[in-house]
Structure 1
């Protein structure tokens, strides 16, 4: 998974859909048919890792919850997703303000409520503050939240004033300013692009600072293709998405009308903006191109020769706010073809159109921080694209903004009150057992030669683990230093958002001149996620994922290995998937594969591509080439988790009797697979499923379950699936 950019006021558009876990915190499930059903539906919200509930009470409730989601009339050998999750939507209907509701989002809902509680706690008295006693980071987060909640009253008074000030600071917007071109005799799009890089990592030119792949102790500049207003390039290019494109144009037009642009001009300019963005989308490469496009490393001199139509030294210097030398290294992926396409596009684009588009992208980024007048067209647009019936309540938007922009402060508050340290230690134990299992699995692989096996083993053993949270967030002083440059002021939410956004962008940008920090946390612990960082060969397990239903210290290990163990196994396999395999044990690019091993790898990979292609034909909801890395990780992860669990049983024979639930007719192995499957229970609106397929790196939840289990003989043994049944095909795919 890629790292998260902590832009505190990024546009929280449902259409973005970049990660259902990260960008869309959800409320408790709606009430259903009976009081018993309601109790089961909301059970996950009712207890914490440090709950005082007894072991028996936790296990009984969990077994009831798991049974409630199942549809036991379905043959598990034909459709294990429906067997495990057939009643999920009955107990967890998609809330009206969301486009999707899944197990991990239910977990995120629990976290969201906790953060709301923490951020609502009292703030220190203003009278106690002075130059020697500035506001603490945690109080800044609370004030940020408070101002966000109060923004409606404040912004209703000033309406578009903060936005207009923001636009003027960028040099103005031609559509609003009849005298714009008298003041801008020569339009410098490169300068505007450099000055607005904090907006989603760049407009027209994607810019980031990442680890240098050839010098592991340094950072380097990463140039890439632009992001798009609707994220998904297919929204611009495919006829089936024409409704979304028109909804987007109408969205732009309504915002212009709110800024007092006359109706005809608003229509014409919105059409120009969207028509340009269609051409820009066509200049970009699709997600699946990342599977075949190589990284190129140049210095600024070479970059200037290759793409001389852009003044790269000036652009990079403006972005960095400091002089950049000509021998500064630069990394490019996808950008080579994209920058050629961009050059030809800009040659035939009027400056008026280009300036209007670039400022629109900045406006789009900050629009969520204005009042209801401006959020209304955004919500209408989201409804068209995702099927979301109602807008997200303001308190959830505010919690998300604070957690995204000041995540280490909110995490510091969370771990003090809610985090159980035993879960951190148990996670590390489980991951270490999975790494040992990976080593053992290597011995079974007849397609891999001895030299490649040996290096794979070394890389797995060198894989570092960071679980829970970074130690420094327990220190208020460390958090205060981290956020000392953020200025949070009473009653100025829009300005507070810009302060947070620019702080986090500067923090990311300024890494260029510092040594690479191999222990950095790409995400705050209050994001429900785990990830593998291939440039550091490290697994990061965030505190908030170590909650029910993923993990609980009182669960049978069959559940903990089936859910959390599989997630961790999944991350280990990312170190050896089609992308991770290209990096060595230090995280540097290295071709450590023999030609014979590489040939076998490609052959094995084709098996998965063909298999998931067949699965995708059932509803055309994903592309197997785009989801390949995640599919490989799912398949390898479930194998690692099951084998590690089997080893645990062998070493803890006296505890096996407690591995099943007395009120369920499933043995411990069957519970392992049920726990795995129920972490992927989900309901998604049809519009959102279509929207996500062109950029989503994961297969839909249903196919993550079916694809992983149809290739695993231990599942077929556990449920006695006959050969030839859907989930026990005679031909199976296996890589790791």
Structure 2
């Protein structure tokens, strides 16, 4: 019997899913038990959340050749060449891995697992990835699982799901379309001025408190002061990302098929993979931080040392340039300050002012 309600809900989801593909009750029960056990073994060797959140502990530079020696059960070079066909990869190519031990343990787990179970795991992973996009009858299984797992009683409305899916693959296009509307273009400069004024005041206060703080050694103060001085603010989309030539070039490989949602979904997934490869081999100036433009709140991007304010936040009741400054500091000002603090927390100290990982400075309460 399942040990807890989470395990019970997940096993029931697995059983209900495979029954959609004509598995019998006993077969579905056995499938769920074996799959849950295998995923539990993966979870046991996966690094902890504290390690995954730590950029120094979770980023280790090794070559593809070394990775292939550590984890022999996976043909890494062939796999990476399939995912990134235009990147000219070989055994000398460097990659970042979360840890050598994890990939060694994962390789051993794969090599000691029955092939039929590995096949079932891969097929089930594929099915569940596409489950949200299937018909309402099939999706009802997923909705039931979400209700049991999260407590949400009603599934997302179909129109809302369609908007969410479109935004997932076309967030840049949708955001730039919104920003290029005449009403938005008229207020861009004034919004930018007000928010940079707030940003500069918060940064000045932060720097002043840092200079008078006894918490940090002098070398750490110098590092953080440099980081603050070089920190920038992006208020919505920069002008370059509103250029139709840039937008069209970004989406030039996309083909939209009328009345064929699933074909569009598959093509969008493939194109998203191509865009990821382009970010690695030929990044745009904004590649490090442009994804934050579609987030739900103000973000700080370590790699760019930049605070990003998504354009959809620049609307009442959260923001209007003519609101009293006290209201603006209490709304977006608080979010800007919270994002700025991320530059100097336990994770932020690992990044320098140029967005590069460095040895974390140690500080004590003096």
Identify whether the pair has TM-score above 0.5, normalized to the shorter chain: yes
Distance 1:527 1:584, change over 3 A: closer
Distance 1:274 1:569, change over 3 A: same
Would you say the 8 A contact 1:407–1:524 is kept in 2?
A: no
- CA distance in structure 2 between the aligned counterparts of 1:526 and 1:296, rounded to whole angstroms: 29
Structure 2 partner of 1:392: 156
Structure 2 partner of 1:480: 248
2:122 is aligned with 1:358: yes
- CA distance in structure 2 between the aligned counterparts of 1:319 and 1:430, rounded to whole angstroms: 43
Q: What is the CA distance between 1:311 and its match in structure 2?
A: 3.2
Would you say the 8 A contact 1:414–1:526 is kept in 2?
A: no
Cα deviation code 1:402-446 (max 9, x no counterpart): 111101121122223463422233212211222222221122202
Aligned residues: 358
Distance 1:280 1:519, change over 3 A: closer
Would you say the 8 A contact 2:45–2:102 is kept in 1?
A: yes
Partner-residue secondary structure (3-state), 1:486: coil
Distance 1:366 1:291, change over 3 A: closer
Distance 1:435 1:350, change over 3 A: same
- CA distance in structure 1 between the aligned counterparts of 2:268 and 2:210, rounded to whole angstroms: 47
Q: What is the CA distance between 1:390 and its match in structure 2?
A: 1.1
Structure 2 partner of 1:324: 89
Q: RCO (CA 8 Å, sep 6+): is it higher in 1 or 2?
A: 1
2:267 is aligned with 1:503: no
- CA distance in structure 1 between the aligned counterparts of 2:312 and 2:160, rounded to whole angstroms: 17
Structure 1 partner of 2:210: 442
Cα deviation code 1:237-279 (max 9, x no counterpart): x95xx22222222222222222223333233223322221122
Partner-residue secondary structure (3-state), 2:234: strand
2:4 is aligned with 1:253: no
Partner-residue secondary structure (3-state), 2:180: helix
Would you say the 8 A contact 1:452–1:592 is kept in 2?
A: no
Partner-residue secondary structure (3-state), 2:321: coil
Cα deviation code 1:302-346 (max 9, x no counterpart): 33333344333223222212441222111122x323223212322
Would you say the 8 A contact 1:248–1:381 is kept in 2?
A: yes
Q: 1:383 aligns with which of 147, 163, 172?
A: 147
2:333 is aligned with 1:559: no
Would you say the 8 A contact 2:288–2:304 is kept in 1?
A: no
Distance 1:244 1:519, change over 3 A: closer
After alignment, is 497-506 or 290-299 more displaced? 290-299
Q: What is the CA distance between 1:516 and its match in structure 2?
A: 7.1
Structure 1 partner of 2:349: 581
Cα deviation code 1:51-75 (max 9, x no counterpart): xxxxxxxxxxxxxxxxxxxxxxxxx
Structure 2 partner of 1:312: 76
Structure 2 partner of 1:273: 35
Cα deviation code 1:16-52 (max 9, x no counterpart): xxxxxxxxxxxxxxxxxxxxxxxxxxxxxxxxxxxxx
Q: 1:464 aligns with which of 232, 245, 262?
A: 232
> Map of 1:132-281 to 2, 5 A cutoff?
239=3, 242-281=4-43
Q: What is the CA distance between 1:347 and its match in structure 2?
A: 2.9
2:111 is aligned with 1:347: yes
> Map of 1:587-736 to 2, 5 A cutoff?
587-591=355-359, 593=361, 598-600=362-364, 603=365
Distance 1:249 1:329, change over 3 A: same
Structure 2 partner of 1:109: none
Would you say the 8 A contact 1:535–1:588 is kept in 2?
A: yes
Structure possessing the higher radius of gyration over alpha carbons: 1
- Normalising by the residue count of structure 1, what TM-score does the alignment of the two structures yield? 0.46
Distance 1:519 1:263, change over 3 A: closer
Give unmatched runs, 5+ long, in structure 2.
Answer: none
Distance 1:290 1:577, change over 3 A: same
Partner-residue secondary structure (3-state), 2:91: coil
Distance 1:363 1:400, change over 3 A: same
Q: 1:490 aligns with which of 258, 261, 268?
A: 258
Structure 1 partner of 2:304: 536
Cα deviation code 1:696-728 (max 9, x no counterpart): xxxxxxxxxxxxxxxxxxxxxxxxxxxxxxxxx
- CA distance in structure 1 between the aligned counterparts of 2:192 and 2:12, rounded to whole angstroms: 49
Give unmatched runs, 5+ long, in structure 1.
Answer: 1-237, 605-736
Structure 1 partner of 2:338: 570
Would you say the 8 A contact 1:244–1:385 is kept in 2?
A: yes
Partner-residue secondary structure (3-state), 1:508: helix
Partner-residue secondary structure (3-state), 1:525: helix
- CA distance in structure 2 between the aligned counterparts of 1:272 and 1:307, rounded to whole angstroms: 24
- CA distance in structure 2 between the aligned counterparts of 1:519 and 1:508, rounded to whole angstroms: 10
Would you say the 8 A contact 2:51–2:58 is kept in 1?
A: no
- CA distance in structure 2 between the aligned counterparts of 1:507 and 1:542, rounded to whole angstroms: 21
2:54 is aligned with 1:289: no
- CA distance in structure 2 between the aligned counterparts of 1:533 and 1:358, rounded to whole angstroms: 33
- CA distance in structure 2 between the aligned counterparts of 1:373 and 1:315, rounded to whole angstroms: 35
Distance 1:384 1:515, change over 3 A: closer
Distance 1:307 1:517, change over 3 A: farther
Would you say the 8 A contact 1:410–1:526 is kept in 2?
A: no
Structure 2 partner of 1:676: none
Structure 2 partner of 1:302: 66
Structure 2 partner of 1:368: 132
> Map of 1:25-174 to 2, 5 A cutoff?
none
Structure 2 partner of 1:406: 170
- CA distance in structure 2 between the aligned counterparts of 1:540 and 1:599, rounded to whole angstroms: 28
2:318 is aligned with 1:550: yes
- CA distance in structure 1 between the aligned counterparts of 2:267 and 2:53, rounded to whole angstroms: 37
